[in-house]
Structure 1
Amino acid sequence: MAVDYAVIVLYLAGMLAMGWWGMRRAKSKSDFLVAGRRLGPAMYSGTMAAIVLGGASTIGGVGLGYQYGLSGAWMVFTIGLGLLALSLFFSARIARLKVYTVSEMLDLRYGGSAGLISGVVMWAYTLMLAVTSTIAYATIFDVLFGMDRTFSIILGGVIVVAYSTLGGMWSITLTDMVQFVVKTIGVLLLLLPIAVIKAGGFAEMKAQLPDDYFAPLGIGGQTVFTYVLIYSFGMLIGQDIWQRVFTARGDKVARLGGTAAGTYCLVYALAGAVIGTAAKVLYPHLGSSDDAFATIVKDSLPMGVRGLVLAAALSAVMSTSSGALIACATVANNDIWSRVKAFAAARRRAADPGAGVSAGADAGADVDSGAHGAGEERGHDEVRGNRIFILLMGVAVIVIAIALSNVVEALTLAYNVLVGGLLVPILGGLLWKRGTAAGALASVAVGGVTVIGLMIALGVLANEPIYYGLIASLVAYVVVSLATKPTDPAVLTAWRARLAGDSPGHAASDGTTAEAAAAPAERV
């Protein structure tokens, strides 16, 4: 195992080195949160595939293949379908908005009154997504080194928090590209063919296993439908996914690069299911289906190759964990904490009208900061502030991961709350001009409460919470929107201009004008 250990240690050291290198590139808020919005097709598609294919897609995907056969691919397959839908139909418009968070998009669309509550929902989702990825370190490090669960979570979590805090999205992008390559080689090019050969080939697998293992809907039609609602729609609205869309250099990169990443996900889904099916032939009596990945890697692969494939599993977990962590910190800082500070400042100005003069001067300085030396200093302050939030959220994620044990329930909880609360107001804002801020708020509140209430009553893994939550959210959105005054035409005009990427003189969220944002960017 010495060679395997060396591979893993070198991989982890490389992740930290990437974080240090990324720190030197993160000079502004835009650099730190969205990699300067200048990723080209190769970098964009690789990092997008890396973030959506995490530990649940790798270890969990193989586990579903072990339990259900080829139809176990459906969970990861629906993730790929969601990414394809996002890339083909929405990514270009999302990229042109030049924002940092989903809540900022809702503020633009509905006139600035929906961001806080949606920010809280999105924060809860990204926090739980980061937690589920962090829990997976325990499984991997146990196989690698026989480590204690708590120590494994702390070790993996500290490494991810370290490189994410150092360089933000630049560090995460660089590490994700390495992780994408490692996953491709380790899972698709090495583990997949070796597992099939060890199991005796497809003919032997069919002879050894029931026919249900090779039926397209062996996992159950209702389960597939639920996967579509949770994961396909979840891909359309998650902050962790949107924040990657914001890194694209332009519309075409977002559309074509995302399409390539979605297609890769479909291949990865089938590969995981086939590996799991082969594991069922080789190890028919495992105590848990989630042990299939680690078992087949440990027992079937030669030294060195085993280390690389385990590094692939580790990279899958780290890519999702880091992406969810920076998304969680971005939402906490930009959508929650900044609004709380603004509310407190407004209260102070109301109590002391004289304070409004200095506040106005500060606001004027903020406007100038995008182009002048004062702006550079403010940019450093913003980077420092976001670093602090990543560090704080990272500590919270590690603590919660140590306390929790059921990854599937935590992941289901996160996606149910996200989709049940935010799918309708987000897609409604993009597709229906009659939707209003009151309708959006009602949709978030009713959908979220319905989902949470039904999960408490019926169980986290029940299908009904997301079904009835979405229906309640849609009804509330439509009824309240039609019953309230239409959105201010000026707000809609500004919204359409941002969607079209045509907002002359308007300062984008990263401090650049629309014209500057449209200028040719550095190729990465």
Structure 2
Amino acid sequence: MESLGLIDFIVFWLVFALTVIAVVYGNLKKDTDNLLDHLLMGRKLTLPMFTATLVATWYGGIFGVAEIAFNEGIYNFLTQGLFWYACYIIFAIFILPKLQTNKHMTFANLVYSEIGPRAGKWTALLNIGNLLPIAYILSLGKFLELTFGLDLITSMSLGVLIVLCYSLIGGFRSVVYSDLIQFFVMFTSVVLVFVFCFFKFGLTPLESLPDHYFSFTGKGGVGETLMWGLIAFGTLVDPNFYQRSFAAGSRKIARKGIFAATIIWMIFDLSLTFGAMYAASLQGSDYFNFSLMTLPFGLKGFFLAGILATILSTLDSYLFLAGATFAHDVLNRKSIDAQRASVVIIAFVALVCSLFSNGSIKAVWSTLGSISTAALLIPMLFHYFKRNLTERIFLSSSIAGVFATILFQFFPTNIQPIYFGVMASLIVITVMTNLKLNQQ
């Protein structure tokens, strides 16, 4: 990796120190210590807070996204950008108005209240599986390995320990206040790389890239492209989106925050995509090392801090919410101590899973996303827009989606497993709903 100057280390540790200060400051402002404050910051998220924590939480897989952009160009902007923007807007316009945002604590809690207790428990287990931050622990491990020369296992273990230290202190409040710093640093650092490349090299280097870099289907074809579209629809059943909406000061704040976040994500995605394409055309090295070679001293350290902020902001949110869901919705334990213990348990499980993964962030990401989307998307859409969904139909449809998605992971086919999962879920829910109507 390109050598860093003293100024880079100063900038890097300064940003880290500011994050710690933000966490401490946020906890000093806390005027109550109850479960509502621990899980949702008392439902007092302002528009800037909501936007910052939503943006920061949603982008921890920067190594995976950069890998896709480096290898396939603007295909990344479609699969990791445009599909998702559409789903964010759908959530804000069509789903958010249907939520009783001042009533529920988690997404699984919503399902428990509106569909049934068994459906709530099942949803909680699915959410925990989706929230296990395996890909983000891998990303953090690779970052620390590249930056400080530690081995991958030590890097992942140390990274998880650091996140646990501040996540356990103030709960969701700590996550939000750290996100305020991390949001600014992660966004600015990625945009800076693109700006420097554009003014230093112009657009000429991009012309040397193969044609597939400018194809919306990349090298994977239409099937894989649409798979990412289906995974993006998982936003409509993503527990982080629901938790932020429940924590907002009002439904209006949540809606405006989602719109603002979408614009910010678009700028971020474009900057990252073209930055990675510059890396592929000029150096043939990965986005991370190329950025360090391109930026001047001082900004190298800021970029490193931005990458770290991008990963940490998602890792802490996923760990916290998975632990909260486990304690609140699976164990039915409402104490803050139970919440903290659950976060530690989830962190250990996620770390072990990371150690035994094959190291591919993209593979982990798509697999977990496929299962969660196939299991919950169709049943929840039926619940929101048909309002005649029984718990039995919900569970049957959801389990069918999980079973089909996992089953077809083991069959050699050109069709992505998520298609079979969503189709199985849709068939089961359609048949059972029609049978119910005929019986009436």
Instruction: Give the TM-score normalised by structure 2.
Output: 0.92
Give the whole-Å Cα distance in 2 for the aligned partners of 1:464 and 1:69. 21
Matching of residues 17-166 of structure 1 within 5 Å: 17-24=21-28, 25=30, 27-54=33-60, 56=61, 58-77=62-81, 78-94=83-99, 96=101, 98-127=103-132, 130-166=133-169
Matched, 1:475 2:427: yes
Task: Tell me if structure 1 keeps the 8 A contact 2:227–2:416.
Answer: no
Give the whole-Å Cα distance in 1 for the aligned partners of 2:342 and 2:298. 38
Task: Give the direction of change, closer, same or farther, for the CA distance of 1:440–1:467 in structure 2 (3 Å limit).
Answer: same
Deviation sequence 1:484-504 (CA, Å, 0-9, x none): 489xxxxxxxxxxxxxxxxxx
Question: Who is 2:411 aligned against?
Answer: 457
Give the whole-Å Cα distance in 2 for the aligned partners of 1:326 and 1:458. 36
Q: 1:9 aligns with which of 13, 32, 36?
A: 13
Task: Give the direction of change, closer, same or farther, for the CA distance of 1:269–1:160 in structure 2 (3 Å limit).
Answer: same
Letter in 1 for 2:69: G
Question: Who is 1:397 aligned against?
Answer: 350
Question: Who is 2:226 aligned against?
Answer: 225
Deviation at 1:76, TM superposition (A): 2.1
Deviation sequence 1:39-90 (CA, Å, 0-9, x none): 1111111111111112x2x333332222122232123212333222212221
Letter in 2 for 1:274: F
Question: Who is 1:493 aligned against?
Answer: none
- State the secondary structure of the residue aligned to 1:457: coil
Matching of residues 127-206 of structure 1 within 5 Å: 127=132, 130-188=133-191, 190-198=192-200, 200-206=201-207
Give the whole-Å Cα distance in 1 for the aligned partners of 2:420 and 2:159. 37
Give the whole-Å Cα distance in 1 for the aligned partners of 2:308 and 2:154. 15
Deviation at 1:92, TM superposition (A): 3.4
Task: Tell me if structure 1 keeps the 8 A contact 2:63–2:361.
Answer: no
Question: Who is 1:520 aligned against?
Answer: none
Give the whole-Å Cα distance in 2 for the aligned partners of 1:36 and 1:204. 51
Question: Who is 2:236 aligned against?
Answer: 236
Deviation at 1:95, TM superposition (A): 5.1
* Greater Cα shift, 139-148 or 94-103: 94-103
- State the secondary structure of the residue aligned to 2:253: helix
Task: Give the direction of change, closer, same or farther, for the CA distance of 1:139–1:95 in structure 2 (3 Å limit).
Answer: farther
Give the whole-Å Cα distance in 1 for the aligned partners of 2:298 and 2:411. 48
Question: Who is 1:425 aligned against?
Answer: 379
Matching of residues 220-299 of structure 1 within 5 Å: 220-230=221-231, 232-284=232-284, 286=285, 292-299=286-293
Task: Tell me if structure 1 keeps the 8 A contact 2:223–2:416.
Answer: no
Question: Who is 1:346 aligned against?
Answer: none
Question: Who is 1:300 aligned against?
Answer: 294
Task: Tell me if structure 2 keeps the 8 A contact 1:107–1:114.
Answer: yes
RMSD: 2.2
Give the whole-Å Cα distance in 2 for the aligned partners of 1:401 and 1:5. 28
Task: Give the direction of change, closer, same or farther, for the CA distance of 1:9–1:261 in structure 2 (3 Å limit).
Answer: same
Structure 1: gaps of 5 or more residues: 287-291, 342-380, 487-524
Task: Give the direction of change, closer, same or farther, for the CA distance of 1:63–1:37 in structure 2 (3 Å limit).
Answer: same
Give the whole-Å Cα distance in 2 for the aligned partners of 1:39 and 1:4. 33
Deviation sequence 1:110-162 (CA, Å, 0-9, x none): 243411122111111111xx121111112211222112111211222111111
Question: Who is 1:414 aligned against?
Answer: 368
Deviation at 1:22, TM superposition (A): 3.9
Matched, 1:315 2:309: yes
Question: Who is 1:362 aligned against?
Answer: none
Q: Percent identity?
A: 23
Letter in 2 for 1:337: L
Letter in 2 for 1:441: L
Task: Give the direction of change, closer, same or farther, for the CA distance of 1:217–1:402 in structure 2 (3 Å limit).
Answer: closer
Deviation sequence 1:496-522 (CA, Å, 0-9, x none): xxxxxxxxxxxxxxxxxxxxxxxxxxx
Letter in 2 for 1:270: L
Task: Give the direction of change, closer, same or farther, for the CA distance of 1:299–1:463 in structure 2 (3 Å limit).
Answer: farther
Deviation at 1:99, TM superposition (A): 0.7
Structure 2: gaps of 5 or more residues: none
Deviation sequence 1:282-322 (CA, Å, 0-9, x none): 113x4xxxxx2211122111111011111111111111111
Give the whole-Å Cα distance in 2 for the aligned partners of 1:105 and 1:464. 30
Task: Tell me if structure 2 keeps the 8 A contact 1:192–1:274.
Answer: yes
Deviation at 1:203, TM superposition (A): 3.3
